Amino acid sequence: MKWTKIIIAGACVLATVGASYATVLYQEDFQSYANPTYNFVSASSGSSTNGWTGTGMLVNQTNSVGGVGSLFSSGAPTRSLYVSDTVSNNALNQMLIYSSTNGGATSISNNGNVKISFDFNIRSNQNSASQGLFPMFDLRGGAVTNVPNSWATTMSLMATTNHVFTYYTNGNNAVQIPGVTVSTANWYRVEIAIGDISTATDYFDLKVWEAKPADGYNQTGTLVIDLTNLLFRADVSYINGFDFRTITTNQAGLLYNIDNIKVETIPEPGAMSLLSLGAGGLILLLRHYSTSL
């Protein structure tokens, strides 16, 4: 009986530690919505019930759920978030409700150790490579001075020059990621892994996979960007949201899709050590118990 209680207790500890291994905080693949669903992102702040809120949207900045899904998805998905922006003098901002200023959540993460991933496809950019609209991804966090919704890092999903990825780091310096040109035919999966932000300097890792139509659906894709220890624009005390938006320069005509958005925790090193130690101890207990029978 004694050994049985010890083993049960050990299993409970492992279950508790294992639960902290990875927790999905937010996930959306848009498959549960009707096809089509128009005005999925509401133009009025606070009026959205599906987790999204648009800020400052004009008549010709529209969105809907439908069309096609990501090549990273299984089967042949028929839905993703489709965004059309044909306005040349107004930036489009679409923010997840999962933030400290919307929906009542205090933060995505108070100490970092979180991973954010999403798929996107640029369907059309009707302008030249050196001008026009292009979508941006913003990770928002509370700065050291606790200013809410400051941009911790900003990533251009198709920059105006040669349609390549860029990321913001070391303050406001835009650093171009060489060797990767974004194609309108392909889907891309972006993964941003944020480490411990309780330290003096905050870092994140960036990975991007590319999926081509010829390889069908349910792809793992080809890893085309793998960068580590990138600096935020400013050190933050917590991560409280992210958004997709468009940047406007001279002309208009941008169509793009977003799919498979996921926010999940990353296990802290201490939790990993406890899990390994607990698993090893439980195995020893089981061996001892079996040999004593």
Q: So what's the pLDDT on residue 102?
A: 41
**Domain boundaries, position 191:** 24-266
Q: What average pLDDT values come out for the chain (293 residues) when binned by 10 residues?
A: 50 47 83 88 63 73 88 91 78 53 51 88 64 71 61 76 71 78 91 84 90 96 94 78 70 78 79 47 53 58
State whether 262 and 226 are in the same domain. Answer: yes
State whether 78 and 151 are in the same domain. Answer: yes
Q: Which residues sit opposite 28 in a β-bridge?
A: 261
- The DSSP 8-state label assigned to residue 20 in this structure reads T
Q: So what's the pLDDT on residue 260?
A: 95
State whether 17 and 33 are in the same domain. Answer: no
Q: So what's the pLDDT on residue 25?
A: 81
Q: So what's the pLDDT on residue 9?
A: 47
Return d(Cα 274, Cα 19) in angstroms, integer: 12
State whether 136 and 7 are in the same domain. Answer: no
- The DSSP 8-state label assigned to residue 232 in this structure reads P
State whether 71 and 9 are in the same domain. Answer: no
State whether 121 and 214 are in the same domain. Answer: yes
Return d(Cα 31, Cα 33) in angstroms, integer: 6
Angle between helices 2-19 and 269-291 (to 10 degrees): 160
State whether 88 and 44 are in the same domain. Answer: yes
State whether 169 and 91 are in the same domain. Answer: yes
Q: So what's the pLDDT on residue 103?
A: 40
Total domains in the chain come to: 2
State whether 253 and 285 are in the same domain. Answer: no
Q: Token pair of 176, please?
A: 């171009």
State whether 58 and 94 are in the same domain. Answer: yes
Q: So what's the pLDDT on residue 104?
A: 37
Q: So what's the pLDDT on residue 267?
A: 80
State whether 252 and 278 are in the same domain. Answer: no
